[in-house]
Amino acid sequence: MHSLYPYPCDMKPIPLILDCDPGHDDALAMILAAHNPSLQLLGITTVSGNGGIAKVTLNARRVATLAGINVPIAEGAGKAILGAIEEAHDIHGESALDGAELPQPKIELSTLHAVDLIAKLLAEHPEPVTLVATGPLTNIALFLKMYPQLKAQISEIVFMGGSASRGNRTPYAEFNIWMDPEAADVVLRSGLPLTMCGLDVTHQALVTKPIFAQLEEMQSELSKTIIGLLKFFAKTYDEVFEMPDPPLHDPVAIALLIDRSVVKSRFVNVQVELSGPLTRGATVVDIYNRLGEEANCNVALDLDFNKFWTLMLDAIRAAATTK
Ligand code: RIB
Ligand code: CA
């Protein structure tokens, strides 16, 4: 099936680095980032979140092997800035990527720490690079603190995290931000162009039965593996959140780079609660500027479902043809 998407063929691909915690949705974000002609994936870095750092890093290398993604991969922070760590076994399973047999990794791990790989890639690239974060923001915050001289090499930070409404790890905090609120605070105060893909928009990126049917039609080894992973993800999401169709959060942060019309956003003030006993990690998204603070972040609120899934399914087809 040929692509239905009018890829902008005359534009230079957008260079990006993906910082992630694979994680089922992170795995699909890796595939979209690596297999869309509008993007140039420079490297992948890992951060503890859905699983401990060893698990998510092994998962990143196995997904890269599975999906023909041949870029540097570097391991990052194993703990949040203030030291907390929790694994989301209830959603992603013991391995942090349960549901299908994944190949042994053929992609070697970089000898650099994630923060140093980000610095190396930014310093070497001839133009500013987009950082996409789909896990806790620890590596990104550490990078901003350790390499302030490279800040000008960042064109934008796009992160999956937060919510303008309710949370998922606590009633008001979304998992990625909850895991390291101090890191999120560093990013939100950085003054850099920011785009937030919170639960408001990612809960629209549902893996529905018709989407599963399109995956079934593909009949590739990759699509069969992805079906196994997503069926596991669907089961846990239904058990924990009573959502029969699981939300594929992380690829939304990638898709909007390819085509900004995939989401509808508002430029507003976003802050993170650091001390509330019941609300620590909550993103306070001031949609109506009630606090009178300066806007600092594009917040994606609505998703074009068909555009999103056309991009995601195209990338899976493209990945299936690479060896
Ligand atoms: O709250 C959802 C986010 O937390 C996603 O990025 C998921 O992969 C987990 O990291
Ligand atoms: Ca993630």
Q: What is the pLDDT of residues 251-296, one digit of tens each?
A: 999 999 999 999 999 999 999 999 999 999 999 999 999 999 999 9
**Ramachandran region of residue 285, left (φ > 0), alpha (ψ -120 to 50) or beta?**
beta
Percent of the chain with pLDDT over 70: 97
Nearest to 63 by CA among 113, 16, 103, 110: 103
* Ligand in nearest proximity to the CA of 49: 1
User: How many helical (H) and strand (E) elements, i.e. helices and strands, does the chain have?
Assistant: 12, 9
In order of 20, 26, 38, 192, the CA distances from 50 in angstroms are 9, 10, 28, 26
125 is catalytic: no
3-state secondary structure of 58: helix
Number of domains forming the structure of the chain: 1
User: Ligand 1: does its nearest atom lie under 6 Å from the Cβ of 180?
Assistant: no
- Is 274 contained in some domain? yes
Q: Is 26 in the pocket of ligand 1 (CB under 6 A)?
A: yes
List the structure tokens of 233.
Answer: 């993800």
Answer whether the bond into residue 23 is a cis peptide, omega within 30°: yes
On whether residue 165 sits in a domain, the answer given is yes
Element (DSSP H or E) covering residue 132: strand 129-133
pLDDT at 160 over 80: yes
Q: Which residue has the higher pLDDT, 10 or 252?
A: 252
The reported pLDDT for the residue numbered 9 is 59
Residue 9's CB is within 10 A of a number of other CB atoms, namely: 7
138 lies in which domain range? 14-320
Is any ligand 1 atom within 6 A of the Cβ of residue 50?
Answer: yes
Q: Is residue 249 within 6 Å of ligand 1 at its C-beta?
A: yes
Alpha helices of the chain — where are they, by DSSP H?
24-34, 53-66, 89-92, 114-124, 138-146, 175-179, 181-188, 199-202, 209-218, 221-241, 251-258, 305-320
Asked, for residue 8, whether it belongs to a domain, the answer is: no
Answer yes or no: is 1 within a domain: no
Tell me, what's the pLDDT at 86? 75
Residue whose Cα lies nearest atom 2 of ligand 1: it is 175
Q: What is the CATH number of the domain that holds 221?
A: 3.90.245.10
pLDDT above 90 as % of the chain = 92
Query: Residue of the nearest CA to atom 10 in ligand 1?
Result: 135
Q: Which pLDDT tens digit goes with each residue over 36-74?
A: 999 999 999 999 999 999 999 999 999 999 999 999 999
pLDDT, mean over the chain: 95
**Residue 6 lies inside a defined structural domain of this protein:** no
Residue 9 lies in a domain: no
Size of the chain in residues: 323
Cβ of 46 closer than 6 Å to ligand 1, yes or no, is no
Mutate to test the pocket of ligand 1, among 32, 47, 95, 175 (most ligand atoms within 8 A of CB): 175
Q: Residue 129 falls within a domain, yes or no?
A: yes
Which range, of 6-15, 56-65, 100-109, averages the lowest pLDDT?
Answer: 6-15
- Please check whether residue 257 lies inside any domain of the structure: yes
- Choosing from 19, 160, 283 the residue with most ligand 1 atoms within 8 A of its CB, the one to mutate for a pocket test is 160
